[in-house]
Amino acid sequence: MIRHLFPVRGGVHPAYRKDQTSERAVLPLPMPAMLYIPLQQHVGQAAEVLVSIGERVRKGQMIARCSGSVSAPQHAPTSGHIRDIAEVTAPHASGLAQTTIVLEPDGADEWAVLPEPIADPFAVDPQLIRERVAKAGVVGMGGAVFPAAVKLDLGTRYKIDTLVINGAECEPYVTCDDRTMREHPQEVIDGARIIARVLGATRIVVGVERNKPQAIEALTRAAAAYPGVEVVGVPAQYPMGYAHELILATTGRETPAGKRTAEVGVVAYNCSTARAVDQAVRLGRPLITRVVTVSGGAIREPKNVECPIGARVGDLVAFCGGFTSPPAHLVNGGPMMGQPLPNLEVPVVKGTAGILALTRSETNARPEEPCIRCGTCVSACPVGLVPVELAALIRRDDLKTAARLGVGDCIGCGSCAWVCPSQIPLVQYFNYANGMLWNQEQQERKNARVKALAEAHARRVEKAAAAKRAAQSGRKPAASPAAPRAASEETGRKAAATEEAGS
């Protein structure tokens, strides 16, 4: 299909290396001996535990429920016994632990009673679908891990006319979305139509990078019956999968800085999320497995694995034949934006798209060199920042100017750092600056609050003194008003100092 696309700024063309896994059908991971299901696998509040140690649960049973308005529940990926609810290292660069339900599968793989399938999702109350998706624990599977149901509400607050399904999958190596689109195109398109209906969107645009022609073909065939659904091949240009970028490329609408895409009438969902929504609605199935790409030069047999949530990274690596050589980097996600994994013991969560074991030679890593001001980072930045200038400002700790020049707009895509011939860790500079700026803002906010409290306190003391004076003056002539004010200011300062010291 020839279709007009809108130009997007910047971007880079890393070595994609998707062929290591793209031509292999997804294989299910044999059930591991133990599953580790963290309570926080999404943006928002961690889920609340519903089970106790020793309890037997069945496949698909909710074991932790939503807590607060932005949250998602967790379900048992198979039947078995709860062995522990403990602090386990999370799949995060910090290596910190978080509360995790430990489930020992019993091998029966016995399903719980699932909610009734919704036979005609286009006839029921949209609120019903929203509730179903919320109960199924579906979160954004492209990496944002935002609870999918929360986004379904956007249609009530904004006028949404277009749903963009994100099948760009611009990260090198990762092919789990590609395989999902090729193997389950009907489910992706059906899920998209259900989401669009809830949002009130009349048009669906499925954006897929042109380096996935089979996926485009499969989806086009699946969408042929539905006039409102367009499947669009977009240029293979990282970071095309960044939602704002894909929306601009496919609809020509540019989301204002700091705003939701809903502001321009568009909501984006990842293609695997659309499939998960479809399964929740049509089958009543919660999100208990996901496809994970296990790849990289140090993996013996790279594969796409359909893996129960909570399987450990080591289980996946073992299923893929282990390492051929000790990897230089073990990455959770793609090589451009992924997080370093602390070890092989951490579990796969709902947002884990890839597990990469990279050798030193495939990273092209070299020692850092001085900036030669070549300006390729400026051309590469999809946001229109000037990384070379920002890095220089941050290096001399002029964070204020860096903030004015937009360091807060950085999306951390790593295009600048990828392209830099001197291999300056630009993203780290920007993350550092944004972290510091955030701390400063918190501190300023706190100071302002302390000041306001101190002033309020001073006013109260003054008021009380004035009242006392007024009461006294009823009996005898007034004393000097200067003394109590000085005292109250002193108290105010002390209060502020104590608060600050305590922070």
State which of positions 169-228 bind another protein (CB under 8 A). Answer: 172
Q: Is 498 in the site for another protein (CB under 8 A)?
A: no
Q: Which two tokens stand for residue 66?
A: 């939503």
Of 311-340, binders to another protein (CB under 8 A) are 326-331, 335-340
Specify the residue, 374 or 470, whose C-beta has the smaller distance to another protein: 374
Specify the residue, 45 or 422, whose C-beta has the smaller distance to another protein: 422
Specify the residue, 281 or 353, whose C-beta has the smaller distance to another protein: 353
Going by the DSSP 8-state scheme, the letter that residue 253 receives in this structure is: -
Q: Is 399 in the site for another protein (CB under 8 A)?
A: no
Q: Is 406 in the site for another protein (CB under 8 A)?
A: yes
State the Cα angle at 59 between 54 and 62, rounded to 5°. Answer: 75
Of all helices (H) and strands (E), which one includes residue 87?
Answer: strand 80-89
Site string for another protein, 40-79 (x = CB under 8 A): ----------------------------------------
Of 141-170, binders to another protein (CB under 8 A) are 156-159
Q: Is 459 in the site for another protein (CB under 8 A)?
A: no
Of 77-96, binders to another protein (CB under 8 A) are 93
Picking from 216, 156, 224, the residue whose alpha carbon sits closest to that of residue 181 is 216
The nearest distance, CB 257 to another protein, in angstroms, is 4
Q: Which two tokens stand for residue 301?
A: 């047999």
Specify the residue, 252 or 375, whose C-beta has the smaller distance to another protein: 375
Angle, nearest 10°, between helix axes 126-135 and 271-283? 100
Q: Is 362 in the site for another protein (CB under 8 A)?
A: yes
Stretch that binds another protein, among 98-106, 113-121, 386-394, 494-502 (CB under 8 A): 386-394
Specify the residue, 12 or 206, whose C-beta has the smaller distance to another protein: 12
Q: Is the CB of residue 206 less than 8 Å from the CB of residue 223?
A: yes
Q: Is 359 in the site for another protein (CB under 8 A)?
A: no
Q: Is the CB of residue 391 less than 8 Å from the CB of residue 429?
A: yes
d(CA 460, CA 469): 14
DSSP-H helix ranges across 165-235: 176-183, 185-199, 213-223
Going by the DSSP 8-state scheme, the letter that residue 456 receives in this structure is: H
Stretch that binds another protein, among 18-26, 120-128, 400-408, 466-474 (CB under 8 A): 400-408
d(CA 286, CA 149): 13
The nearest distance, CB 357 to another protein, in angstroms, is 8
In Å, what is the CA distance from 19 to each residue of 33, 197, 202, 211, 477?
31, 35, 35, 10, 94
Picking from 416, 351, 349, 361, the residue whose alpha carbon sits closest to that of residue 388 is 416
In Å, what is the CA distance from 327 to each residue of 9, 176, 468?
34, 21, 76
Q: Is 239 in the site for another protein (CB under 8 A)?
A: no
Stretch that binds another protein, among 184-192, 362-370, 393-401, 457-465 (CB under 8 A): 362-370
Site string for another protein, 252-271 (x = CB under 8 A): --xxxxxx---xxx------
The nearest distance, CB 137 to another protein, in angstroms, is 27
